[in-house]
């Protein structure tokens, strides 16, 4: 089913361990495809965050290889790869001393060397898309959690990335704000953006994901399309997991 | 210990000029120390192997030896190995190195307390380590450090009194020479009042600065 | 060259004698002043609290060198070394007082209320309940203050106490090695202050570990 799509991220026999005996990614093999929204779920501690943090070299792997658009993720290539893949964090990590507009401008101006003038219209439309066009000059501290996360998404979009990584983007939010962030993410999925999303929001996965993977103990146990994932994931541990959270 | 007004009448030009000298040295030395400290803390945060060790040694040595000895080394020691610096430069370099060590320790502490997530967010935006420090980390750390830094800067006022020992005619030296001529300690009282005045002004200014730089997360 | 340095060290060790009097006595006296003023500052007794604030503010704003000269020349009947001890104690006493006051303030309110509820007098509350808990937490800052006190002893050369710097000046007439002489003085201070700094860091870690447990 993937023949016509290009691989954007490829994990080849990747091992990541923290201490000697704590293997977090266990000879992991996986492909992520261009244009797809790929949801990654699994129990806490399964290694989901570590997996996506290895893609943009926030974590360094011990062996194996990760390729992003054919380029190996190494210290040498870290910055080129980060220019292509943006990240949205669980706790937003907006810079508190900058307005959210300045937050969004920082990467394009300083890392991509673009001029403010050429960026500002584009970034303005992103702020409109997430419904923050009136808040662009606010400091993160003046915003609600949901607004902060939407601003963080704009900061990621501003990099004009080929791939966006989301690490539990709604887990730190009050329940009433989860929807507004998921709506934005659904919009992005509809636009055909390439996203890898770690989340427990199965509603989002059902409507927005092209594929869902289940991770357990450093391995990807099962990967399939949403309909199949929720009806017949083909693996007993996934069924148990689904029973618990649905 | 009594306050004799005649000292003020007879010596006011010298006292006034000494006060000016103290204020001038205080301002110039504080600025130099803060800028130098920022520079050092950036270098430390860059985590350049080798350099970090050297900087740690510099900070430890200058924090744990007396400023007066450092000033004497610069003023009386350096000429002996062929470097003669004017007293002004000795004072400036002495404070820059000494208070620079203390202030950079303060800034380093606040840099380390910037959440790890902010470093990662900066790195994820493809910024270089220097850019992450320059744009994402340092501005936050400096804002948080303002109260501790102004506290350290208020010590620079007091440090300037040591310049009397390397031939700079600031308040303490001038009071000393007034005493030598008149055997009257009023000059010391006058300088004490001047120092207190500077200290109080700085306290008020610091409070304003602290208020301005407070940020919510 | 080696002989020069032996002469220097030999000469300087005479200066140590004065410091061995000034440093320990000033430490003890500043601690006593600090406890009294710190507790008074905490208790906020009317009128007295203004005096405490005035004292602390003046000491925080005045250069110790100016204070030394003022006191020494105003009361020229007292020996330099006694002046040095008095001034250093009064000056650093104010800082110690602030450390102790902050230490008392950091004690949870419940401890005060507990002591009050069993009817202890203010004095026995401070002595038996509060202060024993304060000591542990203030030791690092106290050691830090003592490091400053030790470095400040160089200033007493200005009022003629025969300590390291004044001996250094004398040696210079025998062996003209200003760099060597001052480096030796610096090394002396470095050894003491560095050890104390390590000690205070070590205690801080120990105390933190204990309170978290
Ligand atoms: N920096 C780290 N140092 C040591 N262990 C870590 C670190 N980060 C994560 N781990 C461990 O790795 C395992 C996987 O963590 P993580 O990738 O965060 O899982 P998930 O995101 O699926 O909850 C956990 O056992 C966690 O404790
Ligand atoms: Mg996680």
Which chains does chain B touch, 3 or more C-beta pairs < 8 A?
Answer: A, C
| CB A161 near ligand 1, within 6 Å | no
Half-sphere CA count of A118, side-chain side, radius 13 A: 8
Ligand 1 pocket check for A60: Cβ under 6 Å: no
What gap in Å lies between CA C40 and CA C52, rounded to an integer? 7
Looking at the complex, report in whole angstroms how far the Cα of residue B187 sits from the nearest Cα belonging to chain C.
Answer: 9
Interchain contact A/C (3 or more Cβ pairs less than 8 Å): no
Query: What does the DSSP 8-state code read for residue B50?
Result: T
Chain C residues near residue B195 by CB distance under 8 angstroms: 61-63, 66
> Going by C-beta distance under 8 Å and a sequence separation of 6 or more, which residues neighbour residue A149?
A88, A92, A169, A170, A172, A173, A177, A181
Dihedral sign (CA C95, C100, C105, C107): positive
Query: Element (H or E) spanning C151, and its range?
Result: helix C131-152
**Is C152:C59 a contact under the CB 8 Å cutoff?**
no
CA C7 – CA C18 distance, rounded (Å):
19
For strand A195-198 and strand A163-167, is the pairing parallel, antiparallel, or unpaired?
A: parallel
Q: Nearest ligand, CA of residue A53?
A: 1
Strands (DSSP E) contained in B58-133 are none
The answer to whether the CB of A170 is under 6 A from ligand 1 is no
For A32, the enclosing helix (H) or strand (E) is: strand A23-33
Q: C73 vs B179: CB contact, 8 Å cut-off?
A: yes
What are the contacts of A14-20 at 24+ separation with CB within 8 A? A14/A54, A14/A61, A14/A63, A14/A64, A14/A65, A14/A66, A15/A61, A15/A62, A15/A63, A15/A64, A16/A47, A16/A50, A16/A54, A16/A59, A16/A60, A16/A61, A16/A62, A16/A218, A17/A62
Looking at residue C82, what DSSP letter applies?
Answer: H
Which numbered ligand comes closest to the C-alpha of A89?
A: 2
Residues C111-145 have pLDDT tens digits of 888 888 888 888 888 888 888 888 888 988 999 99
| C154 Cα: distance to centroid of ligand 1 (angstroms) | 53
Which residue has a Cα nearest atom 6 of ligand 1?
A18
Atom of ligand 1 nearest to the CA of A167: 21
Cα radius of gyration rounded to whole Å, chain C: 21
Going from the Cα of B128 to the center of ligand 1, the distance in angstroms, rounded, reads 25
State the Cα–Cα distance between residues C70 and A61, nearest whole angstrom: 66
Query: Which pLDDT tens digit goes with each residue over C36-92?
Result: 999 999 988 999 999 999 999 999 999 999 999 999 999 877 899 999 999 999 999
From A60, A86, A90, A64, select the one nearest A74 (Cα to Cα). Answer: A60
Is the predicted pLDDT of residue A204 greater than 90, yes or no?
Answer: yes
Cα–ligand 2 centroid distance for A131 (angstroms): 27
3-state class (DSSP) for residue A29:
strand
| Residue C179 Ramachandran class (φ > 0 left, ψ -120 to 50 alpha, else beta) | alpha
| One pLDDT digit (tens) per residue for chain B, 217 residues | 688 888 888 999 999 999 999 999 999 999 999 999 999 999 999 999 999 999 999 999 999 999 999 999 999 999 988 999 999 999 999 999 999 999 999 999 999 999 999 999 999 999 999 999 999 999 999 999 999 999 999 999 999 999 999 999 999 999 999 999 999 999 999 999 999 999 999 999 999 998 888 765 5
**Is A47 touching ligand 1 by the criterion CB < 6 Å?**
yes
Longest dimension (CA), chain A: 54
């Amino acid at each position: 089913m993937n023949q016509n799509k290009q691989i954007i991220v490829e994990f080849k026999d990747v091992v990541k361990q923290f201490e000697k005996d704590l293997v977090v990614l266990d000879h992991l093999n996986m492909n992520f495809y261009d244009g797809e929204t790929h949801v990654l779920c699994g129990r806490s501690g399964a290694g989901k965050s570590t997996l996506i943090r290895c893609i943009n070299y926030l974590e360094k792997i011990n062996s194996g290889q990760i390729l992003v658009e054919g380029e190996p993720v190494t210290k040498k290539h870290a910055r080129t790869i980060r220019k292509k893949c943006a990240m949205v964090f669980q706790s937003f990590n907006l810079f508190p001393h900058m307005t959210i507009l300045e937050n969004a401008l920082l990467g394009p101006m300083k890392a991509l060397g673009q001029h403010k003038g050429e960026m500002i219209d584009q970034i303005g439309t992103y702020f409109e898309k997430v419904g923050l066009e009136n808040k662009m000059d606010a400091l993160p501290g003046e915003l609600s959690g949901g607004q902060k996360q939407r601003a963080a998404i704009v900061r990621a979009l501003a990099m004009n990335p080929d791939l966006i990584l989301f690490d539990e983007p709604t887990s730190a939010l009050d329940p009433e704000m989860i929807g507004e962030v998921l709506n934005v993410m659904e919009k992005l999925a509809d636009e055909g953006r390439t996203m890898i999303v770690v989340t427990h929001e199965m509603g989002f996965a059902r409507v927005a994901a092209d594929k869902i993977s289940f991770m357990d103990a450093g391995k990807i146990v099962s990967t399939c399309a949403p309909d199949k994932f929720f009806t017949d994931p083909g693996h007993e541990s996934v069924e148990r997991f689904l029973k618990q959270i649905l | 210990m009594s306050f004799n007004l005649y000292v003020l009448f007879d010596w006011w030009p010298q006292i006034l000029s000494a006060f000016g000298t103290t204020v001038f040295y205080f301002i110039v030395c504080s600025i130099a120390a803060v800028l130098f400290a920022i520079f050092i803390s950036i270098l430390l945060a860059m985590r350049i192997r080798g350099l970090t060790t050297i900087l740690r040694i510099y900070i430890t040595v200058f924090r744990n030896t007396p400023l007066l000895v450092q000033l004497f080394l610069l003023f009386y020691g350096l000429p002996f190995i062929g470097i003669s610096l004017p007293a002004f430069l000795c004072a400036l370099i002495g404070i820059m190195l000494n208070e620079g060590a203390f202030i950079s320790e303060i800034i380093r502490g606040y840099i380390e307390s910037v959440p790890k997530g902010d470093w990662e967010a900066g790195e994820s935006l493809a910024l270089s380590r220097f850019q992450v420090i320059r744009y994402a980390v340092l501005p936050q750390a400096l804002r948080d450090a303002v109260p501790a830094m102004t506290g350290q800067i208020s010590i620079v006022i007091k440090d300037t009194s040591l310049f009397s020992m390397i031939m700079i005619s600031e308040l303490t030296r001038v009071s000393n020479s007034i005493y030598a001529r008149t055997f009257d300690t009023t000059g010391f009282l006058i300088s004490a009042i001047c120092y207190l005045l500077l200290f109080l002004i700085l306290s008020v200014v610091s409070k304003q600065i602290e208020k301005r730089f407070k940020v919510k997360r | 060259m080696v002989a020069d340095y032996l002469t220097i060290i030999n000469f300087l060790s005479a200066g140590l004698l004065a410091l061995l009097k000034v440093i320990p006595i000033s430490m003890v006296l500043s601690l006593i002043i600090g406890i009294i003023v710190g507790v008074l500052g905490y208790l906020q007794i009317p009128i007295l609290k203004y005096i405490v604030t005035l004292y602390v503010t003046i000491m925080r704003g005045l250069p110790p060198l100016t204070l030394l000269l003022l006191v020494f020349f105003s009361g020229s009947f007292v020996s330099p070394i006694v002046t040095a001890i008095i001034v250093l104690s009064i000056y650093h006493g104010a800082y110690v007082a602030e450390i102790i006051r902050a230490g008392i303030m950091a004690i949870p309110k419940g401890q005060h209320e507990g002591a009050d509820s069993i009817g202890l007098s203010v004095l026995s509350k401070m002595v038996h309940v509060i202060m024993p808990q304060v000591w542990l937490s203030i030791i690092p800052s106290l050691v830090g203050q003592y490091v400053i006190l030790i470095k400040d002893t160089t200033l007493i050369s200005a009022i003629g106490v025969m300590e390291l710097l004044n001996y250094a000046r004398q040696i210079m007439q025998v062996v003209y090695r200003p760099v060597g002489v001052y480096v030796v003085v610096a090394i002396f201070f470095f050894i003491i202050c560095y050890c104390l700094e390590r000690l205070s860091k070590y205690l801080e870690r120990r105390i933190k570990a204990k309170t978290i447990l």
